[in-house]
A and B are shown apart, each in its own frame.
Chain A
Amino acid sequence: MKKRIIINEEYCMGCRLCEVYCVTQRSRSKDILKAYKGEYPRPVSGIVFEEKGPISFALQCRHCDEPPCVESCLTGALYIDDETGRVLHDGERCVGCWMCIMVCPVGVIKPDVENRVVASKCDLCIEAENPACVVHCPNEAIQLVEVKEKA
C-alpha cells in the first residue's frame, strides 16, 4: 500500500513543530540544536505553513499520481520513485529553472537559493521510517494514511 500525508486543518494549533522537525530531519546532523545553531545554510523545510487568524495548516508535497512537476522538469531531476510512487528530486541534476514551481497546483515546491540554486520539496522523509512532521505533530493535524494504488 502507498502511504500519503493527509492534513486535518481543524486540528492544527499553529505550533509549527512540523517545520522545526522537518528542518532537523533534513539537516546533516539530524540533531535539533545542531541543525538550528550549527549548520549553515540551514536546510529548507519541505513544509509550506499557512496561517491567518484562527486557521492554520502545514502543507507538503502531495506526491500526485500524475505529477505536473515531473512532466515539466527540464532536466529529469524530478522523477517518480518506481517502488514507492513518491515524487523525488535529484538536486545534482536540477538547474533551478523553477518550471516545477510554475506548474505545482498547490505551490509546495520552494526555491532553495541559500544552499544552491535548486528546487526543494518534501520526500516523505525517505531516510526515516515515518515523516518527521507526522511523528512530531502533537494533535494529529498531519497524518500518514494508506491510500489505494492507482488502478
Chain B
Amino acid sequence: MSTASLRIDEWVEERSERERRDIRRRLIASAIGHALFVLLLFGLPSPSPLPLPAVVSVDLLAGLPQPARAPAPTARPAARPPAPKPPPRPAVVPPPRQKTKVLPREAPTARARPAPKPPPLDYDDALSSLRDELGEAEPVAEQVLDAEPTAARTSGSGRVDPELVAWQVAVNRALARSWVTPTEYRDSELRTLLLVTVMSNGSVLGEPRVERSSGDLHFDDNAVRAVLQASPLPPPPSSGDWPFLFNPTD
C-alpha cells in the first residue's frame, strides 16, 4: 500500500512538474497573445490618447457647411438667416424668432481611431470628395445652419476622419426621409438620445434603445421609428453601438 502510495505521490509530483511547465508555457503564450491583441487595437500610433468619451456633433443635412476650418464658432449669428422681420418701430430691437434657451452642448472632442489612414484629409477635402460622390454643388452660405457642429467635427489639429464624416452625412440624409418632425417640435428643446446597434452592412439590429428620453414619449417614439424606417442605414465605419442624438431645431 505504502509503495503504491509512494509511487502515486511521485507520479503526482512528476505530473505536477509537467503541468507547471505546461501552464507556464501557456500562460506566457496567452499573455503575449493578449498583449499583441491590445497593442494591435490601441497601441499603434494614435492621433489622441485613449479612451476619450468621444462626442462629435453632427449637422450635415441641409448642406455641408463651407467655413469648416473656422478656428472658433463665431459665425453663428451671421450664419443664421435673419429672424423675423422687425416691425417699423422706433428704438426696438427685433427679437429672435425662436426661444433662446438652448441646451448646453457637450464639449467637442476628437474621435480616437486606432490607425489613421495616410494621407490624412482635412475637413474641406473630405467634404469635397463627398460632394463629388453625391454629385452635389458647393453649398451656399445661407445653408450654414450652425457653426458649433463645424467646430466639433474638427479635432484640435483641424483634421477629421473623412470616412466618419461621410457616414454622418449619409445617415442624416437617410433619416431625413424617415424622421417626422411636425412644426410644433421645430423650436422645442426636446432631445432624444438613442443607442443604435448598426451592423457592418448598415442594418439596424433590434429596436434602438432610448438612452436619454426627451420627456415626450411621442417624440422618443418618432426617433425610434425614424431609425427603423431608415434601416438599413449606410454601412458604418465600424459596426457596433452608435449614439444618435435627435435634435429637432432647424
Asked if A pairs with B, the answer is no
